Amino acid sequence: MAKLLFRAILAMAALGGTATARAEVTNTADNGFTVQHQTVIAGDAEAVWKAMIAPSRYWNGDHSWTGDAGNFYLVPQAGGCFCELIRTTSADNIKSSEGSVQHMRVIYAHNNRMLRMSGALGPLQSEAVTGTLTMQLQPQGQSTVVRFTYKVGGYMEFPVDQMATAVDGVIGEQLARLSALFGEGQGDEPAAAEKPSESDESGGAPDPDQG
């Protein structure tokens, strides 16, 4: 499964299908890498936040274990799960499903400002690595600057440079798909996002039976 997913994200990355304003592998080392994508979304921070915490609306089902984005759910509070249900029927919920997969765990949440999650996505799940995805929002007029930064470190059998390129494409794709819910990104160089205060409190959580 991991090898198939790795080949899939490599193929997707080769197509270069991201529409974000800024996108790059910002750092690589023998034991890890950082990728960052940033764009301006034509919606206010509250609307973008509500869409962002509903991964079933925009996260590509090709990067799931079941092949169905409808099985994703996210609880946007500390300790909450960005998870995926393994369903037998569409009516199955977290209690009746055949199983589940944790993609990431929420470690910081502040409504309409920032979501930070810890987890090794896709084929990285089977490797001895950790990953931290920070999703930041900053109002800019009637729009919102959105930045996704994913940092991965640890031991992996995959070549780091190839994995960094592939993961860069995947993260960029998800931000582009989120932006597409509101129309295409603005394309202009967005203002630098202000780092939220570490004292920010997390927000409420949706029903975990959703998916």
Q: From 128, 146, 129, select the one nearest 137 (Cα to Cα).
A: 146
Rounded mean pLDDT, 75-85? 95
Instruction: Give the architecture-level CATH label for domain 2-60+108-180.
Output: 2-Layer Sandwich (3.30)
Predicted TM-score (pTM) of the model is 0.77
Mean of pLDDT over the chain:
80
Residue 102 in tokens: 């944790």
Would you call 132 exposed, middle or buried from its count of C-beta atoms within 10 A (0-12, 13-18, 19+)? middle
Residue 132 in tokens: 């931290």
Residues contacting 159, CB < 8 A, separation 6+:
none
Domain ranges for the chain: 2-60+108-180
- pLDDT per position as a tens digit, 139-164: 999 999 999 999 999 999 999 999 99
Rounded mean pLDDT, 25-45? 93
Instruction: Quote the CA–CA distance of 120 and 186 in Å, as a whole number.
Output: 30
Give the torsion through C-alpha atoms of 200, 211, 57, 196, to 10 deg.
10
What is the per-residue pLDDT for 149? 98
pLDDT at 189 over 70: no
One-letter amino acid of 76: P
